[in-house]
Amino acid sequence: MRALRRRRLLAGLTLEAGVPLALLALWWTWSTRAGLVFFPPLPDILRSFRETWLAAPASKEVLPSLGRLAVGYATAVLAGVGLGTLLGCSEAARRSADPIVQFLRGIPPPALLPFGILVFGIGDPMKVLMIALVCLWPVLLNTIDGVGGVDPTLRETSRVYGLPLGTRLAYVILPAASPQIVAGARTGLSLAIIMMVISEMVASTNGIGYSILEAQQTFRIPDMWAGILVLGVLGYLLNGLFVLLERRLLRWHRGARAREGV
Amino acid sequence: MLGVLSLLEALTRTGVLPASDFPPPSLTLVTLGQQLATAGFWNAVGQTLAGWASGLALAAVLAASLGMVIGASDLAYRAIRVPLEFLRPIPSVALIPLAILLYGTGFTSKLFLVVFASFWPLFVQVLYGMRDIDPLAMDTARSFGLRRLERVRHVILPSTLPYLATGLRISSAVALILAVTAELVIGSPGLGKEIDVARVGGDGRLMYALIVATGVLGWSINAVFSRVERRLLHWHPSQRADGGAR
């Protein structure tokens, strides 16, 4: 019985590890044989990946992108949670803010880019602000909802027991709202990555988005693919990091499970 | 809402916010009103919506059929799990240069990006839905001699539909984002392109008017899909429990 189970487990693991490897091998042989201009051989892509992205000058493109992403995202999460807690605590504030937030959230992020360029120019502040602006809404909206949805008994009990406001926020309200806040932060993260890339594509002289588009325009196709690979790895890592953080943060919450992203 | 608008109006009229960058909201609304009367505006809206709708529909068909086939088999599900976890987080905007290479700057590029981006949330939701089918219900159906199609109709569809609806709601927003992005970055015709043209031409008022129009579009799409989801699935427990990402 145990041997059977072990064999089944082994087969499952082989399947899970084998399929990706087989796909990679397939891509490798297909791309080296097909000789298509737009789909260069995988070894070429990997070489370019190593030379342009893993070598020292990589920091020239990757670090500015990541820096803008981090500052913009952090600003949005802090502002969203702060403002959302404020608005969520009062029914009247929630009501009056709702239509505005709903509308601003409805604007597709790229549509705000021309506004950013017009008002703030094409420098770093514009990109950071744009990243912050697009991820603010999901965080804000979810915080308002989460704070507003705290169990009234819990809220009132903590007030009746005379807990000071700071303690109530830190130990009652924010923890109770945190699953929703985290869900909003996750939506925000994928929007932030989108905004990071397109702001660099439209108006920049460095960054990952810029260098991919530039590689395409100068027909350095393997470099372009390597850039896409970099973004893929980056997306994967950031997502993984977020999941780890979420698990730590919401360990106590039974209903906490992975939410869908963009 | 009105309070914020009048505050903005006052700030722009008195020059606290530079007038060249921030036209008063009243003027923006007037411009928007004028735009509503032009054919060019509706043309752009149509182009954006065409890319959005056809991309979303294509992605939904692909995701539903692939998801049901793969989700029905344990083996297939396990086989694609790792590649899926790797492909899904790739930001779809990374493929913009590839789209330009393959399809140029026209409608097809936009379609490609929209399909790619909206496929993943849908596909993942359908897979979740397939994994969520009650095995007891499935076995019962099987032992009652329901045929494959009948099982799809009576067991599989009812339990995957809520997931598909959620996927559609998420993807509808993503699809619009990608449609506008393609118009803005690649220059496929549509609202996104018009916004950028207005900016380059220095017509701030038109730019704001078009951004507002795009916002209304995004807001209505979201409202419609949320309502349809609620209406269609009022019987399902997920709609009664509250919470989750909005």
Q: What's the CA gap between B222 and B89, in Å, rounded?
A: 23
Per-residue pLDDT of B154-200, as tens digits, reads 888 888 888 888 889 889 989 999 999 999 888 888 998 999 888 88
How many independent structural domains does chain A possess?
Answer: 2
Contacts of B115 (CB under 8 A, 6+ apart): B55, B58, B59, B62
A129 and A24 together in one domain:
no
**Assigned domain for A216 exists:** yes
Could you say which residues from 202 to 231 on chain B have a Cβ atom under 8 Å away from some Cβ of chain A?
Answer: 204, 207-208, 210-211, 214-222
A79 and A11 together in one domain:
no
Cβ separation of B208 and A115 shorter than 8 Å? Answer: yes
A200 and A245 together in one domain:
yes
Record the tokens describing residue B116, joined without a space.
């790619």
A3 and A101 together in one domain:
no
**Assigned domain for A254 exists:** no
Q: For residues B111 and B186, is the Cβ–Cβ distance under 8 A?
A: no
Residue of B nearest to A95 (CA): B1
Record the tokens describing residue A71, joined without a space.
């500052």
Residue of B nearest to A233 (CA): B90
A149 and A229 together in one domain:
yes
Could you say which residues from 80 to 139 on chain A have a Cβ atom under 8 Å away from some Cβ of chain B?
Answer: 96, 99-100, 102-115, 117-119, 138
Closest CA–CA distance from residue A207 to any residue of chain B (Å): 13
A78 and A159 together in one domain:
yes
The answer regarding whether domain B43-234 maps to CATH 3.20.20.70 reads no
Closest CA–CA distance from residue A159 to any residue of chain B (Å): 24
User: With an 8 Å Cβ cutoff, is A59 touching chain B?
Assistant: no
A29 and A145 together in one domain:
no
Q: Please tell me the pTM assigned to this model.
A: 0.82
% chain B with pLDDT above 70: 92
Angle at Cα B230 formed by Cα B220 and Cα B69, nearest 5°? 100
Range of the domain at A183: 41-249
Residue of B nearest to A190 (CA): B91
Residue A232, exposed/middle/buried by CB under 10 A (0-12, 13-18, 19+)?
middle
Cβ separation of A260 and B170 shorter than 8 Å? Answer: yes
A14 and A83 together in one domain:
no
Residue of B nearest to A226 (CA): B94
Could you say which residues from 161 to 190 on chain B have a Cβ atom under 8 Å away from some Cβ of chain A?
Answer: 166-167, 170, 173-174, 176-177, 179-181, 184-185
State the average pLDDT over residues B102-122: 91
Cβ separation of B121 and A141 shorter than 8 Å? Answer: no
A77 and A196 together in one domain:
yes
Per-residue pLDDT of A128-175, as tens digits, reads 999 999 999 999 988 988 888 888 888 888 888 888 888 888 888 888
Cβ separation of B101 and A216 shorter than 8 Å? Answer: yes
- For every residue of chain A, which 3-state class applies, written as one string? CHHHHHHHHHHHHHHHHHHHHHHHHHHHHHHHHHCCCCCCCHHHHHHHHHHHHHCCCHHHHHHHHHHHHHHHHHHHHHHHHHHHHHHHCCHHHHHHHHHHHHHHHHCCHHHHHHHHHHHHCCCHHHHHHHHHHHHHHHHHHHHHHHHHCCCHHHHHHHHHCCCCHHHHHHHHHHHHHHHHHHHHHHHHHHHHHHHHHHHHHHCCCCCHHHHHHHHHHCCCHHHHHHHHHHHHHHHHHHHHHHHHHHHHHCCCCCCCCCCCCC
Contacts of B7 (CB under 8 A, 6+ apart): none
Cβ separation of A114 and B83 shorter than 8 Å? Answer: no
Task: Please state the ipTM of this predicted complex.
Answer: 0.77
Cβ separation of B208 and A232 shorter than 8 Å? Answer: no
Q: What's the CA gap between B198 and B204, in Å, rounded?
A: 7
User: With an 8 Å Cβ cutoff, is B78 touching chain A?
Assistant: yes
Cβ separation of A107 and B211 shorter than 8 Å? Answer: yes
pLDDT tens, N- to C-terminus, chain A (262 residues): 567 777 777 777 777 777 778 888 888 888 888 777 788 888 888 888 877 777 656 667 788 888 999 999 999 999 999 999 888 888 888 888 888 888 888 888 888 888 888 888 888 889 999 999 999 999 998 898 888 888 888 888 888 888 888 888 888 888 888 888 998 898 899 889 989 998 988 887 788 888 888 888 888 888 888 888 888 888 888 988 998 888 888 877 655 444 433 3
A99 and A229 together in one domain:
yes
